[in-house]
């Protein structure tokens, strides 16, 4: 009789996790699409209304629109190896998609969505803008004092990384559980090896 009870004991945690997973995936997708579309629309606006090198004061002296085409990374580092950035952005995008099976936290959905949307925004520029496929220049236009000129995709990537750092420092895993040293969750239950 004990064996029958043990075999039929319900396990609520996986059921709750399965319920939340579709919601988290939709939340992730929403943030990714928002970051990507917002980035591409602002770049379309800049390229169709401004000439390269044009500067427009928005909130002087703090904020200007300053249209440049960036062939490298931040601070124009690596201008001669643009293809490396293309490969890195594509690899980051694929790695994020592989992690979605573990997603159980709204904050992680937000951070990974922003990260993916931003990476795809700049990847689109690298692939399809001049001068050639996979070597395209990224459109940057947001200028702050004594700082690099950047775009919405860059902002989304940085915001996503900052949120990931804060979640990691607080010990919150992608599954939404707070992990403490010793392999235990915040509820004091031991984590199963490789489990969710």
pLDDT in tens, 69-80: 988 765 555 566
Query: Is residue 109 within 8 Å of residue 103, measured between CB atoms?
Result: yes
- Which range marks the domain in which residue 136 is found? 16-185
The structural domain count of the chain equals 1
Task: Report H helices in 50-192.
Answer: 82-99, 106-128, 152-169
- The pLDDT confidence band at residue 88, using thresholds 50, 70 and 90, is confident
Q: Which residue has the higher pLDDT, 170 or 186?
A: 170
Residue from 39, 125, 140, 175 carrying the catalytic annotation: 140
List, for residues 153-183, the tens digit of each pLDDT value: 999 999 999 999 999 999 999 988 988 766 5
- Assess whether 39 carries a catalytic annotation: no
Residue 140 lies in a domain: yes
Residues paired with residue 18 on neighbouring β-strands, in sequence order: none
Q: Which residue has the higher pLDDT, 137 or 193?
A: 137
List, for residues 40-64, the tens digit of each pLDDT value: 999 999 999 999 999 999 999 999 9
Hey, what are 146's tokens? 């004594």
- Assess whether 175 carries a catalytic annotation: no
Residue 196 lies in a domain: no
**In whole angstroms, how far apart are CA 24 and each of 96, 104, 190, 192?**
14, 6, 24, 22
Residue 5 lies in a domain: no
Query: Is residue 104 within 8 Å of residue 21, measured between CB atoms?
Result: yes
Residue from 39, 125, 154, 175 carrying the catalytic annotation: 154
Query: Is residue 75 within 8 Å of residue 138, measured between CB atoms?
Result: no
Residue 70 lies in a domain: yes
Residue 7 lies in a domain: no
């Amino acid at each position: 009789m004990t064996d029958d009870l043990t075999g039929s004991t319900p396990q609520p945690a996986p059921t709750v996790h399965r319920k939340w997973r579709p919601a988290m995936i939709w939340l992730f997708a929403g943030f990714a699409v928002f970051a990507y579309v917002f980035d591409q629309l602002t770049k379309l606006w800049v390229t169709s209304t401004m000439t390269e090198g044009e500067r427009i004061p928005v909130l002087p002296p703090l904020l200007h629109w300053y249209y440049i085409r960036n062939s490298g990374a931040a601070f124009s580092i690596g201008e001669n190896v643009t293809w490396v950035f293309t490969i890195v952005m594509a690899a980051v995008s694929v790695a994020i998609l592989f992690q979605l099976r573990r997603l159980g936290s709204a904050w992680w959905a937000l951070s990974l969505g922003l990260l993916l949307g931003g990476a795809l925004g700049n990847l689109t520029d690298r692939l399809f803008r001049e001068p050639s496929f996979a070597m395209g220049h990224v459109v940057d236009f947001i200028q702050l004092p004594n700082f690099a000129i950047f775009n919405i995709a860059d902002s989304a990537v940085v915001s996503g990384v900052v949120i990931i750092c804060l979640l990691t420092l607080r010990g919150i895993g992608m599954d939404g559980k707070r992990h403490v040293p010793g392999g235990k969750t915040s509820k004091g239950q031991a984590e199963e090896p490789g489990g969710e």
